[in-house]
């Protein structure tokens, strides 16, 4: 008996002989069988047959190897087969009915079981397994998911809660049946295209004849191989009204409506096309009786109350918000209480909750559906137009079927009346053969054939021969005429509907609104809201320090110069002596450049501030002054206050609120030739320009000192003043450009 070790050594030897690239396909499969071999050996079962099967596999491989020209071709085939299967049979819904295969099979199974009563979900799963070639878990999850959308399935028992993330009870404890809405709009065997089930024993629908934009009402999400789909749910009433607008040729707009409620900004929705974005927020209010408590009254779509609370706790632990505790009081309605720490402003905390927690989420829709066995990307407007067109076509087919049925009823009623009232049945008493019987009946009907909408067939005559004597003896011509009149009236209405199909379809949708729109009002409030800048609402949880000489900043430099409080997500504005400035992300220790002369947290104030600057131009030697706002900048990019000449130097800088200025006392070098060696300059005389402007000439003579005057043109002093060097030996005079 061969051991597994011997078989493994045998394979290693074969591997050395064979082309390892091609051989790897089979060798991978054989390695997977190692556990099988070990199991056989452990149970004392013969393993030589297993070893021989491996050898046979190798022989088969060697035969097939000659036919493989490129390993890429093999993997391409396998990958494409698998990808196509996942896309078409599992993850992506079909355009016609808006259902994935598992959902379609569940609904078909429930229709087969339909008797008006509730059925155990476990039984529904078992019925659906006749059509779905996968496990009961996938069927059960899909069934619960459809039930929670509260449109097609009438639920009884604990079906879980999408707001809290609670799962449904076991399938043996919960029950379901189809809703009246589903029975009316989803099923019609006469307009359904059928195919054999996976094992050939049953027949199942290719797609269901859904006369409603079901996909847009329920929404869906799926991840396939190489693509994904994410379609938002929309409001039932708005979908029906939009379908009516399409039929009337009127404009319409569709925006998502989430079952969890909340507030949504759909300004970038792009009709659900790829590349769009929706921002969804929870509704947060300040407690009416306790200003230190916030109430979260709903959750964003896709977020549960436990995950929301976890995100709040993480933000608190990270120092981005300060709270005392979080309590989940969710029952029939969502209610999460957030108690704030002492001294914390509730308005700022609300903004911080949106910025740092799952109280606000961003959703990227991607409307992908199966069209003619291929995935296709659409937008929701196009999807609704196609769905409305399909609905009109299905209604037309139903009317055509009804028309044909009524015509057949009227035809047979007339044949029966002629057969009985003209006593044709008496004439067949003398016939000796079956063919003569049929011929006699046909002859009796001959004078009336021109009145019928189609030719009389052998099947029609055979049906007349099956009329019972009791029916003939009790035939009531008046009653038969009354019934025929009813059918004729119904036929005329049907013909009118066919001639005015658009009007009929509009009335169909209006009837859906009348019957099923109760309690389906919009749950999500639509609005637009500004983007919350995280750095502006983050609570200061760190202290910023600077080592000016070595060029380091950070909250870990506790032995160096303290600058201000900051948060660990702030950006820092840094100016260096050579006139360069940067925006750097704060960290424990960040190198920005030596000889730092000005540093500040780059928040809202810094973005709106006006910087008053004096610098020496390295090319001309002139001292320049300028006023500017930084505006939009890119993190880690180098900017220059000066004109960029070599040896330029920053002499003075102050950061001021917009419109504020200060006066300077400029003292020139004692050795310069200027007659006036001390003069004043007021920044109020200088216009605010862009950050790339070169500025105006302050003086052409060397400067010994620049001092800020104590009396300001504005009562509010500048926020930061840095006199870079109090003893300067440069340039000259007080001439302005």
DSSP character at residue 530: P
3-state SS, residue 438: helix
Q: Produce one character per residue of 559-572: b if its CB has 16 or more CB atoms within 10 Å, e if not.
A: ebeebeebbbbbbb
Structure token digits, residue 78:
């396998």
Question: Does residue 26 contact residue 57 with C-beta atoms inside 8 Å?
Answer: yes
Say how far apart CA 231 and CA 217 lie, in whole Å: 10
DSSP character at residue 117: S
Helix (H) or strand (E) holding 244: helix 236-248
Question: Does residue 268 contact residue 257 with C-beta atoms inside 8 Å?
Answer: no
Neighbours of 453 (CB within 10 A): 9
Structure token digits, residue 182:
């589903």
Q: Which of 82, 85, 173, 591 is catalytic?
A: 173
681 closest CA partner among 611, 734, 624:
734
Question: Does residue 537 contact residue 555 with C-beta atoms inside 8 Å?
Answer: no
Instruction: Please list the alpha-helical segments (H only) found in 422-456.
Output: 424-427, 434-445
Question: Does residue 683 contact residue 666 with C-beta atoms inside 8 Å?
Answer: no
Instruction: Please list the alpha-helical segments (H only) found in 68-185.
Output: 71-86, 101-113, 121-128, 136-148, 180-185
82 is catalytic: no
CB contact set of 165 (below 8 Å; sequence gap of 6+): 304, 305, 306, 307
3-state SS, residue 253: coil
DSSP state letters, 80-110: HHHHHHHIIIIIS-BTTT---HHHHHHHHHH
Helix (H) or strand (E) holding 535: helix 534-537
Judged by phi (left if over 0) then psi (alpha if -120 to 50, else beta), residue 249 lies in left
Place of tokens 């104590």: 710
CA dihedral 543, 544, 548, 550 (to 10 degrees): 90
3-state SS, residue 474: coil
Say how far apart CA 194 and CA 208 lie, in whole Å: 9
Structure token digits, residue 460:
């029609």
Neighbours of 271 (CB within 10 A): 18
Say how far apart CA 508 and CA 734 lie, in whole Å: 86
Structure token digits, residue 287:
């407690």
> Beta 623-628 vs 688-689: how paired, if at all?
parallel
Question: Does residue 333 contact residue 261 with C-beta atoms inside 8 Å?
Answer: no
The order of strands in the sheet holding 678-682 is 678-682, 663-668, 703-708
Question: Catalytic residue numbers?
Answer: 173
């Amino acid at each position: 008996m061969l051991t597994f070790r011997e078989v493994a050594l045998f394979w290693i030897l074969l591997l050395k002989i064979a082309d390892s690239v091609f051989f790897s396909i089979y060798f991978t499969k054989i390695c997977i069988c190692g556990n099988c071999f070990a199991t056989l050996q452990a149970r004392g079962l013969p393993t030589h047959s297993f070893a021989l099967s491996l050898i046979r596999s190798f022989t088969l491989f060697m035969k097939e190897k000659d036919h493989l020209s490129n390993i890429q071709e093999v993997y391409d085939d396998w990958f494409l087969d698998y990808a196509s299967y996942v896309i078409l049979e599992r993850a992506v819904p079909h355009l016609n009915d808006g259902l994935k295969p598992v959902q379609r099979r569940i609904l078909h199974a429930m229709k087969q079981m339909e008797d008006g009563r509730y059925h155990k979900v476990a039984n529904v799963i078992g019925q659906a397994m006749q059509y779905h070639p996968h496990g009961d878990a996938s069927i059960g999850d899909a069934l619960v998911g459809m039930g929670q959308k509260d449109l097609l399935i009438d639920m009884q028992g604990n079906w879980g809660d999408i707001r809290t993330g609670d799962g449904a009870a076991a399938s043996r404890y919960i029950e379901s049946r189809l809703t009246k809405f589903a029975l009316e709009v989803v099923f019609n065997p006469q307009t359904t295209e059928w195919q054999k089930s996976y094992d050939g024993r049953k027949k199942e629908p290719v797609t269901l004849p859904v006369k409603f934009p079901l996909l847009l009402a329920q929404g869906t999400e799926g991840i396939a191989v190489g693509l994904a789909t994410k379609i938002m749910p929309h409001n039932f009433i708005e979908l029906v009204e939009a379908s009516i607008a399409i039929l009337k040729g009127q404009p319409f707009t569709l925006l998502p409506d989430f079952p969890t409620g909340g507030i949504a900004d759909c300004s970038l929705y792009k009709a659900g096309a790829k590349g769009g974005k929706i921002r969804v927020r929870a509704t947060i209010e300040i407690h009416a009786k306790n200003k230190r408590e916030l109430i979260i009254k709903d959750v964003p779509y896709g977020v549960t109350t436990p995950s929301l609370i976890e995100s709040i706790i993480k933000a608190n632990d990270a120092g981005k918000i300060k709270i005392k505790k979080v309590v989940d009081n969710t029952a029939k309605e969502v209610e999460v209480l957030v108690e704030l720490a002492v001294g914390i402003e509730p308005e700022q905390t609300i903004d911080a909750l949106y910025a740092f927690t799952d109280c606000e989420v961003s959703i990227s829709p991607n409307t992908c559906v199966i069209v003619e066995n291929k995935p296709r990307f659409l937008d929701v407007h196009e999807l609704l137009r196609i769905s409305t067109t399909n609905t009109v076509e299905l209604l037309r087919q139903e009317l055509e079927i009804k028309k044909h049925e009524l015509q057949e009823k009227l035809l047979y009623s007339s044949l029966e009346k002629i057969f009985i009232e003209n006593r044709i049945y008496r004439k067949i008493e003398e016939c000796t053969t079956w063919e003569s019987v049929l011929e006699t009946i046909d002859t009796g009907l001959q004078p009336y054939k021109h009145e019928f909408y189609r030719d009389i067939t052998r099947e029609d005559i055979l049906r007349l021969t099956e009329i019972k004597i009791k029916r003939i003896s009790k035939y009531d011509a008046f009653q038969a005429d009354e019934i025929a009149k009813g059918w004729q009236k119904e036929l005329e209405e049907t013909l009118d509907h066919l001639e005015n199909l658009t009007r009929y379809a509009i009335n169909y949708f209006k009837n859906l609104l009348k019957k099923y729109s109760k309690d389906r009002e919009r749950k999500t409030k639509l609005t637009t809201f500004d983007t919350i800048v995280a750095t502006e609402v983050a609570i200061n949880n760190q202290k910023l320090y600077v080592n000016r000489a070595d060029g380091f900043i950070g909250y870990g430099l506790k032995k160096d110069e303290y600058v201000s409080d900051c948060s660990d997500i702030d950006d820092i504005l840094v100016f260096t002596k050579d006139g360069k400035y940067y925006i750097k992300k704060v960290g424990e220790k960040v190198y920005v450049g030596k000889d730092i002369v000005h540093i500040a947290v780059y928040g809202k104030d810094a973005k709106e501030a006006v910087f008053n600057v004096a610098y020496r131009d390295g090319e001309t030697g002139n001292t320049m002054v300028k006023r500017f706002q930084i505006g939009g900048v890119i993190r880690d990019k180098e900017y220059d206050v000066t004109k960029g000449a070599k040896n330029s130097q920053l002499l003075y800088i102050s950061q001021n609120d917009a419109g504020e200025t200060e006066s300077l006392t400029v003292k020139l070098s004692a050795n310069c030739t200027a007659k006036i060696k001390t003069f004043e300059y007021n920044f109020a005389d200088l216009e605010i320009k862009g950050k790339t402007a070169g500025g105006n000439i302050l003086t052409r003579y060397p400067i010994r000192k620049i001092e800020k005057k104590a009396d300001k043109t504005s009562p509010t002093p500048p926020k930061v003043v840095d006199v870079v060097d109090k003893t300067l030996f440069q340039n000259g005079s007080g001439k302005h450009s």
